[in-house]
Amino acid sequence: DSGVTQTPKHLITATGQRVTLRCSPRSGDLSVYWYQQSLDQGLQFLIQYYNGEERAKGNILERFSAQQFPDLHSELNLSSLELGDSALYFCASSVGLTRQETQYFGPGTRLLVL
Amino acid sequence: KNEVEQSPQNLTAQEGEFITINCSYSVGISALHWLQQHPGGGIVSLFMLSSGKKKHGRLIATINIQEKHSSLHITASHPRDSAVYICAGARSQGNLIFGKGTKLSVKP
């Protein structure tokens, strides 16, 4: 158990819908990263927050948004869903911002868009 | 060219064999992570390296910064080591760039 929690574990929805994925980092960790794992693209970085502020952005679509709340949990919002958004979404947390820190991964949310 | 490339893509070994997975990375990456992903999907961090060598049990990871190359070794492999091993480079803010993974199958 990494100490990072994600809900829900599974999500099935239809095209055009909007969903919210939630992540609670390990106690004491200030950085939260969101990653997407799809069959064709593999694992890719979406967005990073540190202590409530966005710090880095990767291949995140405009239909997707995220935020980190004062209690440090984070939410990833996916809207106008398309079939291609079906993927495993992971969040990870680390203590700070440096590149030399271990990241602890949550169990992931498996999203299926029908 | 991908920023992080690993090889081989697939690897089958007999129990007890010594296994090596290689990873090459590009400029702009100065820390390297090795991750393990089990069939259920969960990802576990094995090592984070910025120099030298680290060992944990039967797993050894090395990095050569000049050559931008890292290796993950598994000694005395066991069927429970069967998983996908992923090499990932860390950017300046810590976000990771992933290799495509190596699917390891260890046969009893």
| DSSP state for residue A113 in the 8-state scheme | E
Q: Collect all residues of chain A within an 8 Å Cβ-Cβ radius of residue B44.
A: 2, 105
Question: Residue A30: is its pLDDT beyond 80?
Answer: yes
CB-CB contact of B86 with B72 (8 Å) = no
Which chain A residue shows the shortest CA-CA distance from B32? Answer: A100
| Cβ pair B85, B35 in contact under 8 A | yes
- Which chain B residues have a beta carbon less than 8 Å from that of A95? none
Q: What pLDDT shows up at residue B1? A: 60
pLDDT for position A107? 96
At A56-114, the pLDDT tens digits run: 999 899 999 999 999 999 999 999 999 999 999 999 999 877 767 889 999 999 999 99
Mean pLDDT of chain A: 94
In the three-class reduction of DSSP (H, G, I as helix; E, B as strand; rest coil), residue A84 is classed as helix
User: Can you give the pLDDT at residue A59?
Assistant: 84
Q: Which two tokens stand for residue B17?
A: 């064999």
Candidates B4, B38, B43, partner chain A, best to mutate (most A CBs within 10 A): B43
Nearest to B43 by CA among A55, A33, A100: A33
Q: Is residue B106 within 8 angstroms of chain A, CB to CB?
A: no
The closest CB to that of A105, out of B43, B50, B90, belongs to: B43
pLDDT per residue of chain B (108 residues) written in tens, 0 to 9: 678 999 999 999 999 999 999 999 998 887 899 999 998 889 999 999 999 999 999 999 999 999 999 999 999 999 999 999 999 999 887 889 999 999 999 999
Amino acid occupying residue A76 = L
